[in-house]
Every structure is written in C-alpha cells, then in structure tokens.
A and B are shown apart, each in its own frame.
Chain A
C-alpha cells in the first residue's frame, strides 16, 4: 500500500488531472448556477450538445490524432449508439423504474454495439492507408444510416421516437460522462499502451520492429473510439427525439473532424475547446441569424472555418501566430534550457499525423520541433 502511494507520488503531476479537473470544476459551477435557476433553456440544451460533441471529438482524436488514421465515419458509430441505445432504453423502461439507471444501461449497450462495429471497421484499417481508409470509414457511416432508414423496427424514415431525458438533468449526467471519458482516454494515453499507439502513428515500421502489436492497437483504438461515440449517440438520443437517420451523414462526421483538426491533432484539451467553440458558434449562428438572415448562416460558418484553418495552419501565418500566441512567454523560457521539452500541453496543433508524411508537399518546411503532447510526461526533471 505504501509502495502504491509512493509510486503514485512519484508519477503524479498536476497536469495529468488538470483537464478533467477543470471540466469537473466547470460542471460544479454549472450545477450551482442551475440550482439557482441562473441557466436559461438554451444554455441547458446547449450544454448537452457540447457534452456529446466533446465526447465525439475526443474519441475521434484517439483515432486521428493519436493513432494517425483518418476516419470519416464517426457519425456512423454515433448513429448506432443513438438508435440502439434509445431502443434498449424503451425496452428497459418497462422493467426498470429509475430513469437514470435506464440511461446508464442504455449508454453501455449503445456503446458496446458501436464498439462491435468499431471492431468490424477496424479490420480494413489494418490493410488500408490514409485516404483509402477515410473513404471506407465514410462508406461505413453511410451504410449504417442507410440501413437504419429502412428498418421498420427503428421507425424507418420517421425516425425512432426516443423518449427525451429531462433537459435540466441530462446535461449534468452528460458532463459526468465527459469527465469519465476524459479520465479514461487521458489515462490510456499516458500509459505504455498510449505510447505504443503514438509510436504506430510516428513510425509504423519501427513500431512493428519494436514488437508493438500494431494489429491489436489499431483495432483497440477503433473499438474504444466507437464505444465512446456510441455513448455520445445515446446522449444525443436522449437529448432530442426522434432519432433520425439524416442527422448522421458524412457531413456530421466531417464536423467532428473539424473539431479535432481545429483543436489540434493529438491534443485532448484542444478537442474539448474546439468542440465547445464549434457547438457554441453553430448555436449562435442559428439563433442570431434567424428568419431572412438564415441564408447567411452557412456563409458565415464557412468563412469562419476557412479563416481559422488558414490562420492556424498556413506556413505564412506562422510568425504572426507565434507573436500572438499565449504561450510566447512560456516559449521564451524554454529557450534558456534549449531543447529540453517543457510542459506544453496547452499547445495546439503541434502534432501531425503520418498521413502528412506520405501525402503532402513539404520541401521548404523548416524542421519544427514537434513535441508530442504526452511526450512531456517523460520529462522527469520534477521527479528527481
């Protein structure tokens, strides 16, 4: 026991819990505000949407950011979760009285079913690379919703008439799930298994040569990501009714991908922030640009998207970005101890997937000091 405590002490770092602890803190504040009646309907509804978006974005980040495989079918897993989860919930309601218990059980079933399909779609991932895998996952998402559309049990084109959960409670439960998901994902990433996954992304050949079981990890990541996406789907199904197959088109998968790319591949914090921002921006555009102005909604969204992506990624903007960057002060400090990786978990968009390596033109790119977000944990300065 004492060994355990000393081990924990040796390993513990504040930043390891910073992410989920902050989310938890936000949640506590929100619960208090909610209790005081200070949150209006839109905010409460929006919070549930933010919660499932965060789960979707972080779980997709596992696949795209950490494993380095491009998936355009994440909405397909969500679709499975939403349909199966709410279906199971309606069955369970006959047997179990507690709404909360029904929700939890349906989340687990929805997640499990999605995970099984995650395994199935993980199989091609073993054979295919980059854009080919992307199109297969996109195809998978479209197949799933096409099939649900035609299943009478799930309401066919009318959608499955799920029963919504009380909005005031749903967002709290959803955020508790977010915290749990964050703990699980970050713990996983900060372990030897997480190292193995990032090793596959960085250099698959070397990873194989080091005896990393690439097959296992690729499938594992797809399964875990699908599981969480399925849970997000169940939350979605309890947020609104009916569960309609049109929602889960490839456009939605791409929106989740936008969250991941905007937040920075391989950055969980980034995914959380980007998921929140995109959901809020979408909501603001929808509610502010109503009536005749609605036609501008997509236009504004598109312009924001293009501008942000170009600003964030264009080599030409790099100096400006660095000048404006919040981490500039931090970066200066790093300079003193040259080349020592410092804590830069807050850095966005520092890691590129290997898709990059194969596919894009980079002759004049300066060799950047890419820092693996979690590589920092190996910096053991503080441990000694």
Chain B
C-alpha cells in the first residue's frame, strides 16, 4: 500500500513533466528534449530565490516567470529558425539546448548537488494509511492543471487555434491563425508547467544538480508516449502508471536492478499492442 502511495507521488511528478512534453509535442510536433532541463532551471531559480529572500511563495512565482521566459527565448532563438526544416534537425538542436543549459548551470552553481528545504506540510491519514500532504497536493495540482489545460484547449480561442495548428499547420495558417504566436504560447505554457514540476519535484527530492532534469525528462517522455503523446489525459495517465510500475519494481529486491528494463519493456509492449499509446488519437492515412 505504501508502495502504491510512493508510486502515486512519483507518478504525479512524471505526469506533470509529461504534460509539458505532450503540450509541446501535440502542437509544435517536436520532441523537446530540453524540457527536462527547463525543470532544472526552475529548480535552481527556486533555490536562489529561497536563499535570497527566504520566501517560498516568491520563489515559486519567480521560477514560473523565469521558466516561461527561458522557454520562450529558447523557442525564439533555437527552434523558430528551424521552422520548416527537418524535424530531426530540431530534435538535435533541442539536445544541443539541453547540453547548453546543463553546462550553464554547472558554470553558475557548480556540479555538487545542492540541498534545498521547502515547506513540508506533514502527513495526513487516509484510513489506516499515512500519506504526505505534499503528495496529495502534487496529485491535486496535477489534476487541476490537466483539467485546466483541457478546458483551455477546448474552450478558448487560443486553445482552438492550438488545436488547429496541431491538426494542420498549413491550413491553420490559411485560416488566419498566427502559427508562430501559437507555438510560442505553447512553449510558454509548457515551460510554466515545467516550473510547477520543478517545485513538486523538489518537494519530494530535495536536491539539485545540473543534470537533474535529464532522467525525469526521459521518464516523463516515456510516460507521455505510453499515454499517447499529444493527449493531455494520456500524459497524466502515463505518468501515474509509470511511477507506480517503477515503485513496484523497486520494492521487490530481486527485480529492483532491472527496473529500467522492465519500464521500457512495458513501453514497447504497450506500443506494440496499441501503436499510438493508450489514449492516443488515431490517424488514418489516406490512399
């Protein structure tokens, strides 16, 4: 049972990161490998603000601002010039950006891991089981963000424009949608989500290194694909699923060392059964 709760709280973090991945993928159709490193940027921002002001709420607000700005700047400088080029080129640039952010962080903060203390809201009990309030908050916020995003995409003009861009950029352009602006907004939202993810990540794993984002990034990417990349509820589902599986594997000593292999095997199996992920949208190619 406690494994389940641990899995849930890890999964909630994966889900939050995966939401950002899936947003950017769904609309800009690019694998933003630097997404994990935006989380790292957010984490260091929280650390610095906390050290300077001591106010955790200011730290969070600041990290959202910095993440959003860096997301937009990266999009403008590194990805926008490649609009229209091969998606592989964009993928590689994203990796370049990821390296860039990591090395900048190492130059500024050094490579030693930095501990951080965030407010701990203690525990609450559900039945006989104790659960961290942080975990509950992570899940609730994740749920709210998911619902909010879904509403935003479905109900607002910008959201509808996003859907249009996601379906067919050429057609969206013809319909008068400012594609560049929409993609920029997508990146802004994705990066703001990364700031949230960094906050919850730090609540659970209170240590920051320059490479903090890369492994959760890959895991969240996996989660997004399991759930069906591009699908907002899919990202949430995939994240929680992945967190649970990871924790269940780790809790059994005999298979613990094989956790990564099991997680990724599961991914392959799911994709073989359902080539577009659990909640992915099917596209039929016209002949």
Contacts and interface: CB of A to CB of B under 8 A. Distances in A.
User: Most chain-A CB neighbours within 10 Å: which of B78, B83, B87?
Assistant: B87
Contacts of B111: 295
Nearest to A349: B86
A355 B91 CA distance: 12
B268 A299 contact: no
- B: contact size bracket: 35 or more
Interface in B192-224: 218, 221-222
Contacts of A136: 267-268, 271
Contacts of A305: 92-93, 95-96, 99
Contacts of B221: 135
A164 interface: no
Contact of B258 (A146, A352, A362, A364): A146
Interface in A82-102: none
Given A135-B222, A298-B103, A303-B100, A360 B86 contact: yes
B81 A257 contact: no
A310 B268 contact: no
Contacts of A127: 272, 275
B271 A128 contact: yes
Contacts of B261: 142-143, 146-147
Interface residues of A, number: 57
Contact of A306 (B83, B97, B104): B97
B78 A310 contact: yes
A63 B104 CA distance: 34
A359 B87 CA distance: 7
Interface string B72-102: 0000001001111111111111011111101
User: Most chain-B CB neighbours within 10 Å: which of A135, A250, A352?
Assistant: A135
Interface in A340-384: 352-353, 355-356, 359-365
B84 A315 contact: yes
14 contacts: A135-B267, A136-B271, A139-B268, A140-B268, A146-B258, A149-B257, A254-B95, A257-B88, A296-B103, A299-B100, A299-B103, A305-B92, A305-B99, A362-B84
Interface of A: 64, 70, 124, 127-129, 131-132, 134-136, 138-140, 142-143, 146-147, 149-150, 205, 250, 254, 257-258, 261-262, 265, 295-299, 301-303, 305-306, 309-310, 312-317, 352-353, 355-356, 359-365
Given A131-B225, A146-B257, A355-B86, 15 more contacts: A124-B272, A129-B275, A134-B31, A135-B221, A135-B271, A139-B265, A295-B111, A299-B100, A302-B96, A309-B89, A314-B81, A317-B81, A352-B86, A363-B170, A365-B84
Nearest 5 A-B pairs (CB), nearest first? Answer: A139-B264, A302-B99, A313-B85, A363-B170, A302-B100
